[in-house]
Amino acid sequence: MARRGRGKTKKNKLLLSSNEGTIQEHVDVDKVEKRLRQTASDLKCEAFYGTWRDELRMATLELQQRYLKRKADSQSLNCSSGQMQCVCYGLGSFSSCASGRYQLAMLMLLLDALEIRPSDCSVFDPVFSSGEKAVLSRIGLTVLIENEEGKRQALKPTFFYLMHCGKALYNNLLWKNWSKQHLTEILIVGNSFCGMKERTIDREFNRDYRYISQITAVCKENLLPCPSHMTDVFSDTAVLTFPAGDLDKLSESTWTNPSEPQYEYCKDLEIVCKDRTEII
C-alpha cells in the first residue's frame, strides 16, 4: 500500500499524546488530517470505489424510501426527513495503522457520496488516542465518549460501518435492533455473515452469536469488491441488508423476548466491554 511523503512542519501544529498513560507517542493532528485527506483522494481514483459508492447509494435509497413509507402509512405527526445516520465502530489506530486510515478515508468518501452530514456520523473505538479524537472532530465526525458495545438502536435509517470487527459487536447490534421494523431500516457495511459462519464451529456460532446465526439465512449480502493490493484493508466486506420479505421467512417466535447476549461461554470475545479497560 502506498504511503505518502511526510508533511512539512507547521508553526502552530497541534501535538497530542496518544493512549494517555501508555506510550507517549505524539500525534501531529495537522499531519494526520492531511495524510487522511490525501488517502481519500487516492481512494477516489480506485475503480472499486465507484462500485462501493453505487452499491451503497442504492441500498441507502431503499432504506430511506421504506422509512418514509412507514411514516406516511402510520400518519406520523413527526415529520422526520429520513436523513440517514451513520455509526462507525472499530476503525483502530488510524494515525499509525494504514488499514484504519484507508477505512476512515473510505468512510469520508461514502458520507459525502450519500449526503450524510459528518456530524450525523458517530465514531467509537476504545483505542482512539486523544490526538486521533481531535482529528475525527476536525473532520466533523461525532466522537462518542461511551463504549456502547455495539448496542445502538437505530431510530432513523442508519448505515453501520464495522470494518473487520469482532463478532460480538455485530451480534450486539443485531440484538438491539431485533425487530422487523428496525432491521429493515439499517444496513451494515462489514464482514460477511456467511464468511463468519464458515469460519466458526457451528455449535459455538449458534450458542454465542445467536442473532448473527439466525439472521444469516435470511439477510441479503452483497460482497463488495476488493483489489488485491488492499486485501488487508477491505477484504471480506459486504453490504448487509435485511429485506422485509426475507425476514418474514423466520418464525414469529424468533422475534419474541430477545435476550441480551451474555457471552458467558465465549473464550475469545474479540471486543472491549464497558467494564474492561484492556483489549480482550
Give the whole-angstrom CA distance, residue 89 versus residue 125.
Answer: 6
Q: In angstroms, what is the minimal distance from the CB of 146 to ligand SAM?
A: 10
Nearer CB in complex with ligand SAM: 31/101: 101
Nearer CB in complex with ligand SAM: 142/254: 142
Edge-first strand order for the sheet with 237-241 is 142-143, 121-124, 85-89, 158-162, 186-191, 237-241, 220-223
**How big, in percent rounded to 5, are the helix, strand and coil portions of the chain?**
45, 15, 45
Subset of 250-279 contacting ligand SAM (CB under 6 A): 271-272, 279
Length of the chain equals 280
Other residues' Cβ atoms within 10 Å of the Cβ of residue 90: 23
Q: In angstroms, what is the minimal distance from the CB of 252 to ligand SAM?
A: 31
- For the packed helices 98-113 and 29-44, what is the interaxial angle rounded to 10 degrees? 60
Subset of 55-114 contacting ligand SAM (CB under 6 A): 89-92, 97, 99-100, 103
**Site membership for ligand SAM, residue 147 (CB under 6 A):** yes
**Torsion sign across C-alpha atoms 217, 49, 133, 128:** positive
**Site membership for ligand SAM, residue 125 (CB under 6 A):** yes
Q: In angstroms, what is the minimal distance from the CB of 45 to ligand SAM?
A: 22
- For the packed helices 47-73 and 98-113, what is the interaxial angle rounded to 10 degrees? 50
Question: Using the rule CB under 6 A, which residue among 14, 113, 127, 266 binds ligand SAM?
Answer: 127
Q: In angstroms, what is the minimal distance from the CB of 28 to ligand SAM?
A: 21
Subset of 6-45 contacting ligand SAM (CB under 6 A): none
Subset of 164-183 contacting ligand SAM (CB under 6 A): 164-166, 169
**Torsion sign across C-alpha atoms 191, 197, 203, 209:** positive
Nearer CB in complex with ligand SAM: 67/128: 128
Backbone angles phi, psi at 97, to 5 degrees: -120, 125
Q: In angstroms, what is the minimal distance from the CB of 126 to ligand SAM?
A: 5
Backbone angles phi, psi at 193, to 5 degrees: -70, -35
Subset of 200-259 contacting ligand SAM (CB under 6 A): none
Question: Using the rule CB under 6 A, which residue among 141, 163, 187, 212 binds ligand SAM?
Answer: 163
| Interaction site with ligand SAM (CB under 6 A) | 89-92, 97, 99-100, 103, 124-127, 147, 149, 163-166, 169, 271-272, 279
